[in-house]
Structure 1
Amino acid sequence: MDKNINAMYFSATGTTQKIVLAIANKIAEFDGQTVKNIDFTLPEARKVAVSFTADDLVVFGVPVVAGRVPNVLLKYLDTLAGNGALAVPVVLYGNRNYDDAAIELKGILESKGFQVIAAAAFIGEHSFSKILAKNRPDEKDMTIANDFAEQIYKKLNGPDSMKPVYVPGNQPLGSYYVPKSANGDPIDIRKVTPKTNTEVCIDCKLCAHVCPMGSIDEEDVTKLNGICTKCGSCIKKCPVEAKYFDDPGFLEHKQDIEVKFASRREPELFLS
């Protein structure tokens, strides 16, 4: 296969990155290629517009937020230029549902000049939780990712290489998922922000460096200078577990999804 293989992703806690790189590296392995890694998780990376050509194949991954592509990424995604490149959109969700995220990402890439030849929805540990989809993607997920890559490679070298791909979802796209309380009332967590336990914080600044929005103040990590997407990066990567959420509505929603969606969901692959 005469294509340059690219892995492009937004991955605050590393779960999307793990799947995207596994797929891209396996495809590249068949022809002895190396993968170009394009990580646009941090703010500085999103200041640079990225373009491809018809000689490229891009495995493109984003997490699912409220059942959709993260709206904070839409402005950046609008700067992409596919120019006929092949694309494999991959969404990763926390075991609840990916709703319309996969069809939305497919549509975005197609609108920017990519030709989608496969797509997938994988599961990763939920950004709010350490028990919902704990430690996923796991070994079973990685085996599926490798098998998916092999199927993509075979498709690209077969008679149906450019066959359109069906991805489930609503057109027009559905609304963003809204958490509900036990009484059925909407829970608004958009303005919820993490707190810092100053008694255990060692002021290592790691939380400020890994925040995808660049919102945590490096001089005073207890302060936010921008929005919080609840991506979990500052909490899950803190070496002393100094970051946490204490908003009652957020905690109610977290507990609710940990119970309701505890049953394991499996990846879904789309190749035709």
Structure 2
Amino acid sequence: MKPHMIYSVFWSPTGNTEKLVKDVGRQIAGALRTPWKAIDITLINAKSKPLQFRSGDLVILGMPTYAGKIPNKILPFIQDKIHGSDTWLIPAVTFGNRSFDNSLAELSRVLSQNGFSPIAGLAVVCPHAFSQTLGAGRPDPLDLVDIKNFVRHVRNKFRFAETIEQVQFPGDPHAPYYTPKGLDGEPVNFLKAKPVTDPSLCVNCGHCAALCPMEAIDLLDCSKIPGTCIKCQRCVHICKHHAKSFQDPSFLSHVAMLEKKYTRPAKNVYIW
């Protein structure tokens, strides 16, 4: 038994989830000698064409963890645009060394309701989008060994199992989002925070506006952010001129708290 086709599907503003999901997909495809394709859904929106996967396909679908869950502004598009037909699924979530909390359980539940059958899953530490120190260097060499071991177990499921059973994931898919805290331990609210543009560095090339998942940045004047910002940090990461940054005090206090409190290497989770 093996899949007809393997797909690595990812929503990945800063590229970390993309790297993980592509790596896992390539490895499984190589082990099973199955065709493989990557699909980038980072710019998914209400106008996007639906993705329909077949029975017999294997989809590795990756999302970053935002406040312990799947990004709430993106979740409706996942629910509306991505469908299976008793399609094998490996949900994959990344997190920035704090915790993946309920994101893996939520992603599995949402996709199960859309015709997917989860047969394995993983939650892996990657560099935090907010910080240059949180999760730096992850996945590290030991993580990569564990990922290879995970792939081996998935391969063996297809090679040796007569039927492939669904798996369950830790967490509560209905739990509320994690409440961010500042350095003083008190809750902080930076929902309205938006990136600031340094006019001495910005050349108004429009790159950030074209690739913003929320289409929040003005295409004609990249210093203006009229739309909703979800703090995904894509504009900060992709700007070749380093013109974008976040300077909101509550946001910076939260980042400082994370960098102070979550220095220990968090553990990945693999389920098969």
Counterparts of 2:31 and 2:184, CA distance in 1? 54
Q: Where has structure 1 moved over 6 Å in runs of 4 or more?
A: none
Displacement, 1:223? 0.7
Who is 2:131 aligned against? 129
Who is 2:43 aligned against? 42
Displacement, 1:44? 6.0
> Equivalent of 1:170, from 169, 172, 179?
172
Query: Is 1:89 the equivalent of 2:77?
Result: no
Counterparts of 2:222 and 2:155, CA distance in 1? 45
Counterparts of 1:239 and 1:128, CA distance in 2? 18
Fraction of identical pairs, as percent: 33
Which has the higher mean CA deviation after the structures are superposed, 186-195 or 133-142? 133-142
Who is 1:61 aligned against? 62
Counterparts of 1:142 and 1:45, CA distance in 2? 36
Displacement, 1:204? 2.5
Query: Is 1:270 the equivalent of 2:265?
Result: no
Structure 2: unaligned runs, 5 residues or longer: none
Query: Is 1:119 the equivalent of 2:121?
Result: yes
Which has the higher mean CA deviation after the structures are superposed, 243-252 or 126-135? 126-135
Would you say how many aligned residue pairs link Structure 1 and Structure 2?
A: 270
Amino acid at match of 2:237: K
Structure 1: unaligned runs, 5 residues or longer: none
Instruction: Say if 1:117 and 1:161, in contact at 8 Å, map to a contact too.
Output: no
Instruction: Say if 1:91 and 1:102, in contact at 8 Å, map to a contact too.
Output: yes
How does the TM-score come out when normalised to structure 1?
Answer: 0.93
Counterparts of 2:249 and 2:148, CA distance in 1? 40
Aligned counterparts, 1:185-204, within 5 A: 185-204=186-205
Displacement, 1:166? 2.6
Who is 1:207 aligned against? 208
Instruction: Say if 2:3 and 2:34, in contact at 8 Å, map to a contact too.
Output: no
Who is 1:217 aligned against? 218
Counterparts of 2:126 and 2:180, CA distance in 1? 19
Instruction: Say if 1:25 and 1:34, in contact at 8 Å, map to a contact too.
Output: no
How does the TM-score come out when normalised to structure 2?
Answer: 0.93
Displacement, 1:143? 3.2
Q: Classify the secondary structure of the residue corresponding to 1:47.
A: coil
Counterparts of 2:122 and 2:218, CA distance in 1? 36
Q: Residues 139 and 239 (structure 1 numbering): CA distance in 2 closer, same or farther, change over 3 Å?
A: farther
Instruction: Say if 2:11 and 2:40, in contact at 8 Å, map to a contact too.
Output: yes
Q: Residues 30 and 256 (structure 1 numbering): CA distance in 2 closer, same or farther, change over 3 Å?
A: same
Instruction: Say if 2:79 and 2:111, in contact at 8 Å, map to a contact too.
Output: no
